[in-house]
């Protein structure tokens, strides 16, 4: 019997883990290998199932997935870098959802995907991450366990399970404008360890109307520059092209107090308009614009 050194074993385990993740991602994204999914296209369940009472995922402290968090990985020729931590993560973007095609199959973190549970997929957050997802149009929110990779589609931030999408009210349209906020499981457990007794309040006749959420506006940002001349140079590349929204240069300050000039197009009517604009920009050599929701 040959003895394998500890370091060699560790490298073999790492290589095997990356190979497994690569095979899973390739199957998920329609690579040239034979797909492990029986359906060619995703869909909702054939019969309506009421998931309105599906319970939020309960954040709990658990180690990151051993094989689901390579420092980088490649899908469809694009390289993604996994974030080392989810601390302080908050991002706005476009959510989509996935259903029967992936139901019962392994996720990138090793869990089996259950479309009736509150879960999600994300390209860069470490797995697992618990997060609150809020629909910016109607104010509804859910807590999901992010345990898979995706969505590998331009302009998409997060892929929600069928149940999560249903509770947020985005099943019909297929997409929604959302805010994703990572949750610290330890802090969540401390805050929910004991039921809180709300102070008694005098009863008031009538019903208080709930303030509707601010209607979000959707933009595509083509670039952000320290120099206005560079922003204007990019702007000039689109002169004479019919665009679905106003092309503008806006000034702002970033987290490092640097003055930036951002080139944006919008507001856009809907997600479909943003997708068509992304393709139009690509045809003119402008790749991967950034979705901005104000």
pLDDT at 199: 58
DSSP class of residue 75? E
Q: Is the CB of residue 86 less than 8 Å from the CB of residue 125?
A: yes
pLDDT at 49: 78
Q: Where are the alpha helices (DSSP H) in the chain?
A: 6-28, 162-168, 185-191, 228-236, 271-283
Using DSSP bridges, classify how beta strands 246-253 and 259-268 pair: parallel, antiparallel or unpaired.
Answer: antiparallel
pLDDT at 35: 52
CATH topology of domain 11-191: Barwin-like endoglucanases (2.40.40)
- CB half-sphere exposure, 168, CA atoms < 13 A: 35
pLDDT (tens, 9 = 90+) of the chain, 294 residues, equals 344 444 444 454 444 444 445 444 544 444 444 455 555 566 567 777 788 889 999 999 999 998 899 999 999 999 999 999 999 999 999 999 997 767 667 889 888 989 899 999 999 999 999 999 999 999 999 999 999 999 999 999 999 999 999 999 999 899 999 999 999 999 999 998 766 565 555 554 544 444 556 789 999 999 999 999 999 999 999 988 999 999 999 998 888 888 999 999 999 999 999 999 999 999 999 998 999 999
pLDDT at 99: 78
pLDDT at 5: 45
Torsion-angle region of 196 (φ positive above 0: left; ψ -120 to 50: alpha; else: beta): beta
Q: Where are the alpha helices (DSSP H) in 192-270?
A: 228-236
Q: Is the CB of residue 57 less than 8 Å from the CB of residue 147?
A: no
Q: Is the CB of residue 250 less than 8 Å from the CB of residue 235?
A: no
User: What are the start and end residues of each CATH 2.40.40.10 domain in the chain?
Assistant: 11-191
User: What are the start and end residues of each CATH 3.30.70.1070 domain in the chain?
Assistant: 218-293
Please tell me the distance from the alpha carbon of residue 277 to that of residue 253, in angstroms, as a whole number.
Answer: 26
**Cβ atoms within 10 Å of 193's Cβ, excluding its own:** 7
Longest dimension (CA), the chain: 82
What is residue 87's three-state secondary structure?
Answer: coil
Per-residue buried b or exposed e for 254-281, using 16+ beta carbons within 10 Å of the residue's own CB: eeeeeebbbbbbbbbeebebbbebbebb
Residue 41 CB partners (closer than 8 Å, separation 6+) = 101
pLDDT at 45: 73
Query: For 166-197, what is each residue's pLDDT tens digit?
Result: 999 999 899 999 999 999 999 999 998 766 56
CATH of span 218-293: 3.30.70.1070
């Amino acid at each position: 019997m040959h003895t394998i050194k500890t370091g060699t074993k560790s490298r073999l385990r790492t290589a095997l883990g990356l190979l497994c993740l690569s095979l899973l991602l390739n199957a998920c994204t329609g690579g040239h290998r034979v797909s492990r999914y029986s359906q060619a296209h995703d869909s909702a369940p054939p019969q309506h199932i009421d998931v309105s009472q599906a319970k939020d995922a309960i954040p709990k402290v658990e180690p990151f997935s051993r094989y689901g968090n390579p420092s980088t990985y490649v899908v469809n020729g694009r390289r993604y870098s996994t974030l080392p931590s989810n601390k302080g993560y908050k991002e706005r973007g476009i959510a989509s959802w996935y259903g029967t095609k992936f139901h019962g199959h392994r996720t990138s973190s090793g869990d089996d995907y259950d479309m009736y549970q509150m879960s999600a997929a994300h390209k860069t957050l470490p797995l697992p991450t618990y997060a609150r997802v809020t629909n910016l149009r109607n104010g509804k929110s859910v807590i999901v366990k992010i345990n898979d990779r995706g969505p590998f589609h331009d302009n998409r931030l997060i892929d929600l399970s069928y149940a999560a999408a249903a509770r947020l009210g985005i099943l019909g349209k297929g997409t929604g404008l959302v805010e994703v906020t990572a949750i610290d499981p330890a802090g969540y457990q401390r805050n929910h360890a004991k039921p809180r007794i709300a102070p008694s309040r005098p009863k008031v006749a009538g019903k208080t109307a709930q303030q509707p959420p601010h209607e979000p506006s959707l933009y595509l940002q083509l670039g952000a520059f320290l120099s206005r001349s560079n922003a204007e140079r990019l702007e000039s590349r689109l002169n004479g092209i019919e665009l679905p929204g106003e092309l503008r240069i806006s000034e702002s300050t970033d987290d490092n107090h640097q003055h930036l000039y951002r080139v944006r197009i919008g507001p856009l009517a809907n997600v479909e308009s943003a997708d068509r604009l992304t393709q139009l920009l690509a045809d003119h050599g402008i790749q991967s614009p950034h979705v901005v929701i104000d």
